[in-house]
Amino acid sequence: MSRLRIPLLLLPLFAVLALTGCADREPEGETASSAQGQFPVELHPEGGKAVTIEQRPERIVSLSPSTTETLFAVGAGDQVVAVDSFSNYPEDAPTTSLSGINADPQAIASHNPDLVIVESDLDDKLGDALAKTGTQTLVLSAPSTLEQAYEQFRLVGKATGHADEGADLATRTKEEIDKLAADAPETSGSLTYYHELDPTFYSVTSATFIGQIYDLFGLTNIADQDDPNALGGYPQLSAAHVVQSNPDLIFLADTNCCGQNADTVAARPGWDTITAVKENRVHAMDDDIASRWSPRIVDLVRTVSDAVAAAGR
């Protein structure tokens, strides 16, 4: 499940803190790094504390599903000894019962890590606790832009001794996404869309990295309303607002968690009048791919590209 979507009950909290073709892309094969990296390396993650890693980490714990995917994609998979319960990709990730939401220092320390990567660490409580065991903590927060997501690929590479692979991953991902956007066909008029995180109508605005993907295709977000930055970019809409906005496209990021699909959407009171429903433009997506800032973000972009192309026919 995705970190951005899974905590339905925590979405309001997340919103404050954020102040997170669906083809199965296999992660890049692990290749020997051209070098073991140059250490010490000083890292300056966006929204997190600067960290200096003295030597190549050999026992990494990841409490971020997005970062877990990136670790394996840059070739650091064999350095990962444990990941959180929501890190379900790739298949050989060492998934445990560890929580990234309520991180337990003792449970984490039991894996004897030398580096722990998390999405948030309020008041440095986790980092301070783990520091007593000699473990460093690296905070990689949810990005606000695609460029910040690419930068995290580079940063994960540097942190693990795979700097070249991280830089290459960032370059390739950006090139693939840019090409998908450039190749998208022109549509007649501006299309509007609604991106659904859960059946209680939490959504994303254009101020999020997900919203930026839709911007690449010139789509207009009905969740932006008067202020895309409100509520951290993750507002809860009303059903009436969605119906009245009459989006041309609907994207569902709550198919796995909540069983939503084109039929369940059409069955909602009044939703059968929405253009997206009437024109069969309700697109069910893989929840995880639709929410994570991992290398599989390309698949989300491809889904949007295909939807726009189909709507323009």
- Of the pLDDT bands very low, low, confident and very high (cuts 50, 70, 90), residue 210 is very high
User: 175 lies in a domain?
Assistant: no
Same domain, 301 and 188: yes
Angle, CA of 125, 131 and 137, to the nearest 5°: 70
Number of residues that make up the chain:
313
In a domain, 127, yes or no: yes
Instruction: Decide if pLDDT at 142 tops 70.
Output: yes
Same domain, 97 and 191: no
How distant, in Å, are the alpha carbons of 215, 239, 276 from that of 244?
Answer: 22, 9, 12
Task: Give the percent of the chain with pLDDT over 90.
Answer: 81
Residues 308 and 233 in one domain: yes
CA distance 28 to 31: 9
Does 99 share its domain with 214? no
One domain for residues 216 and 267 = yes
CATH number for the domain that contains residue 230:
3.40.50.1980
Average pLDDT over residues 181-209: 92
Structure tokens at 40: 């010490």
**Domain-terminating residue out of 143, 173, 208:** 143
- Boundaries of domain holding 62: 41-143
Beta bridge partners of 283: 251
Tokens of 203: 């959504």
Is there a single domain that holds both residue 71 and residue 125?
yes
Is residue 148 one of the residues assigned to a domain?
A: no
- Give the end of a domain, one of 120, 143, 166: 143
Same domain, 210 and 263: yes
Name the E strands within the chain.
41-43, 51-53, 60-62, 80-83, 115-118, 136-139, 192-196, 220-221, 249-252, 282-284
236-268 confidence digits (pLDDT tens): 999 999 999 999 999 999 999 999 999 999 999
Residues facing residue 79 across a β-bridge: none
Residues 300 and 226 in one domain: yes
24 within a domain of the structure (yes/no): no
At 6-46, the pLDDT tens digits run 444 344 334 433 333 333 444 443 444 444 568 999 999 99
In a domain, 172, yes or no: no
Question: Angle at which helices 65-73 and 163-183 pack, to 10 degrees?
Answer: 110
What number of H helices and E strands is found in the chain?
12, 10
Structure tokens at 264: 């369940």
CA 160/CA 154 separation, integer angstroms: 10
Give how many domains the chain has, as a whole number.
Answer: 2
Please give the C-alpha separations between residue 268 and each of 256, 262, 286, in angstroms, as whole numbers. Answer: 18, 10, 21
**28 domain residue, yes or no:** no
**Domain contains 263:** yes
Q: Are residues 190 and 262 in the same domain?
A: yes
Answer yes or no: is 304 within a domain: yes
The band of 287, judged by pLDDT with boundaries at 50, 70 and 90, is very high
